[in-house]
């Protein structure tokens, strides 16, 4: 049915674009949540979950209270759900899609017998053909001789019927658990020497890096927890400039943190967790190039652990005529050098927030005082008019358009001045080489 046809039937019809990827992601979240009821949770089609509650229903007081609990919680979250409980996956599917409630033990046929044959998870073709023959319900289908059904519709119909009634087994494949990147080491005797802690850390790192390699992941943030015999815990965090899984390189980065640790009466448990991991593909190692890049990344990590990884930055070009917005400062660990630096006009090598100077008129003053120095203007080049970006509201550009001048002074300095004709005033904003 087209949208306009649908509108004719229902005037206040609302539409939203479909987002299958988002729906799948949400279903994954829901599957993780459903693990509170049982450990075996699998996906059922594009919009369903299947739970094997064998042996866990009694924890919630039986099947009915469990189902009630699921409905209550999901309703509170604003979700409309249909559900069914039965001994077999097929019968539960039929109840969830075409009926409701709980099938009594070993009474599948009674529970789903009156449901249409489509409730057997059949394809459209056999289900329509069966209905045309007058076989409307599952009980009708069950009453037919089996050999004729197979001859006419192939083995699939009977397979589905047997699965629903429990004569044919069907399994649930649960979703895999996400891997946990943590390892620990308990020591029979407490340790306190720096070399010993480093050796323990090396052992943990080897295990952790094996895990990371198996999953093709790399650690970005690592945390080492050291528990002392008096139950005090000390933590060392390191943030890496690049996702890594090379134990030797990571170990040297722990040296500084371990040096600062107060071991007290000794450390008897160590735990190493990769709190942030990123996928790292296996890559070809060559003799050239890799060395320099690795050294630079290690350096960024070491500096970053002292002054903060966000304080190691690089410039990225931005598309703007506004001088202070013609570049972006981005953390070096999370960006790569990119873009081209093109400037159509000469720009100062140093810029600062505008500093007011005295002056009147639209041409630069003949002499000016700036930062307690006085200058005589010998040559002024300009003006270059730069208009504020009206689509962004910027406090500093409230004074309207600016006329920029390059001013060369007799004293030597070459300054970048601007004049705001809409609110007459002069400012210094930069210095040329």
User: The tokens 């189902």 sit on which residue?
Assistant: 67
Q: Which is nearer to other proteins, 68 or 413 (CB)?
A: 413
**DSSP element (H, E) containing 101:** strand 101-102
Residues 190-249 touching other proteins, rule: CB under 8 A, are none
Q: Which is nearer to other proteins, 19 or 346 (CB)?
A: 346
User: The tokens 């306009």 sit on which residue?
Assistant: 4
Query: What is the smallest separation between the CB atom of 242 and other proteins, expressed in angstroms?
Result: 13
Q: Cα(first)–Cα(last) distance of the chain, in Å?
A: 70
CA-wise closest residue to 220 among 212, 232, 228:
212
Given the DSSP bridges, would you call strands 101-102 and 84-85 parallel, antiparallel or unpaired? parallel
Query: What is the smallest separation between the CB atom of 313 and other proteins, expressed in angstroms?
Result: 5
Among 378, 385, 392, 398, binds other proteins (CB under 8 A): 378
Among 18, 46, 195, 433, binds other proteins (CB under 8 A): 433
Q: Which is nearer to other proteins, 134 or 337 (CB)?
A: 337
Query: What is the smallest separation between the CB atom of 411 and other proteins, expressed in angstroms?
Result: 7
Give the binding-site size for other proteins (rule: CB under 8 A): 49
Indicate the SS3 state at residue 233: strand
Query: What is the smallest separation between the CB atom of 397 and other proteins, expressed in angstroms?
Result: 17
Among 379, 385, 387, 424, binds other proteins (CB under 8 A): 379
User: The tokens 């003799």 sit on which residue?
Assistant: 287
Are 378 and 386 in contact by the 8 Å Cβ rule? The answer is no
**DSSP element (H, E) containing 402:** strand 402-409
Cα separation, 188 vs 62, whole angstroms = 45
255 binds other proteins per the rule CB under 8 A: no
348 binds other proteins per the rule CB under 8 A: yes
CA distances in angstroms from 345 to 47, 119, 321, 402, 412, listed in the order given: 58, 73, 11, 16, 21
Cα separation, 386 vs 399, whole angstroms = 12
Piece in contact with other proteins (CB under 8 A), picked from 99-107, 142-150, 229-237, 424-432: 424-432
The DSSP annotation for 319-335 comes to S-SSGGGSEEEEEGGG-
Query: What is the smallest separation between the CB atom of 405 and other proteins, expressed in angstroms?
Result: 13
- Binding marks (x or -) toward other proteins, 385..414, rule CB under 8 A? ---------------------x-xxxxxxx
Indicate the SS3 state at residue 283: coil
Among 1, 18, 46, 338, binds other proteins (CB under 8 A): 338
Query: What is the smallest separation between the CB atom of 273 and other proteins, expressed in angstroms?
Result: 26
Indicate the SS3 state at residue 272: strand
Among 22, 78, 134, 353, binds other proteins (CB under 8 A): 353
Q: Which is nearer to other proteins, 23 or 346 (CB)?
A: 346
Q: Which is nearer to other proteins, 266 or 317 (CB)?
A: 317
CA-wise closest residue to 92 among 59, 129, 131, 63:
63
CA distances in angstroms from 393 to 324, 380, 400, 418, 421, listed in the order given: 14, 31, 11, 20, 19
User: The tokens 């087994």 sit on which residue?
Assistant: 169
Residues 278-337 touching other proteins, rule: CB under 8 A, are 292, 295-296, 298-300, 302-303, 306-307, 311-315, 317, 323, 326-327, 329, 332, 337
343 binds other proteins per the rule CB under 8 A: yes
Q: Which is nearer to other proteins, 94 or 332 (CB)?
A: 332
Query: What is the smallest separation between the CB atom of 295 and other proteins, expressed in angstroms?
Result: 4
User: The tokens 């209270």 sit on which residue?
Assistant: 65
Residues that bind other proteins (CB under 8 A): 292, 295-296, 298-300, 302-303, 306-307, 311-315, 317, 323, 326-327, 329, 332, 337-339, 341, 343, 346-353, 378-379, 381, 406, 408-414, 430-433
């Amino acid at each position: 049915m087209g949208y306009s046809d649908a509108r004719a039937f229902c005037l206040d019809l609302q539409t939203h674009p479909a987002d299958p990827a988002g729906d799948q992601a949400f279903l994954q979240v829901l599957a993780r949540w459903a693990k509170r009821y049982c450990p075996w949770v699998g996906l059922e089609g594009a919009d369903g979950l299947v739970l094997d509650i064998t042996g866990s229903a009694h924890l919630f007081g039986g099947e009915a209270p469990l189902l009630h609990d699921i409905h209550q919680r999901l309703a509170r979250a604003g979700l409309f759900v249909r559900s069914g409980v039965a001994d077999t996956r097929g019968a539960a599917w039929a109840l969830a899609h075409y009926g409701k409630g709980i099938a009594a033990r070993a009474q599948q046929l009674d529970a789903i017998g009156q449901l249409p044959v489509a409730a057997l998870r059949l394809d459209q073709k056999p289900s329509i053909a069966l209905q045309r023959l007058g076989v409307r319900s599952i009980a009708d289908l069950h009453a037919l001789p089996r050999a004729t059904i197979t001859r006419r519709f192939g083995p699939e119909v009977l397979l589905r019927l047997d699965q629903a009634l429990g004569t044919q087994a069907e399994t649930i494949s649960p979703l895999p658990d996400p891997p946990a990147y943590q390892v620990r080491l308990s020591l029979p005797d407490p340790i306190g020497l720096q070399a010993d802690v480093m050796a323990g850390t090396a052992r943990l790192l080897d295990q952790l890096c094996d895990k990371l390699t198996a999953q093709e992941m790399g650690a970005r943030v690592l945390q080492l927890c050291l528990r002392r015999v008096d139950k005090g815990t000390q933590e060392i965090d390191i943030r890496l400039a690049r996702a890594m899984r090379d134990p030797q390189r990571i170990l040297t980065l722990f040296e500084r943190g371990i040096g600062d640790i107060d071991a007290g009466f000794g450390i008897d448990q160590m735990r190493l967790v990769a709190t942030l991991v990123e996928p790292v593909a296996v890559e070809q190692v060559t003799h050239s190039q890799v060395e320099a890049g690795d050294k630079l990344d290690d350096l960024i990590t070491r500096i970053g652990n002292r002054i903060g990884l966000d304080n190691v930055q690089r410039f990225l070009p931005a598309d703007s005529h506004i001088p202070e917005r013609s570049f972006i400062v981005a953390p070096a660990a999370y960006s790569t050098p990119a873009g081209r630096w093109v400037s159509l006009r000469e720009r100062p090598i140093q810029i600062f927030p505008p500093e007011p100077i005295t002056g009147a008129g639209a041409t630069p003053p003949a002499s000016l005082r700036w930062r307690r120095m006085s200058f005589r203007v010998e040559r002024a080049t300009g003006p270059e008019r730069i208009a504020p970006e009206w689509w962004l509201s910027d406090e500093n550009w409230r004074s309207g358009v600016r006329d920029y001048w390059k001013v060369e002074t007799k004293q030597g300095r070459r300054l970048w001045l601007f004049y705001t004709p809409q609110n007459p005033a002069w400012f210094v904003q930069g210095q040329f080489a």
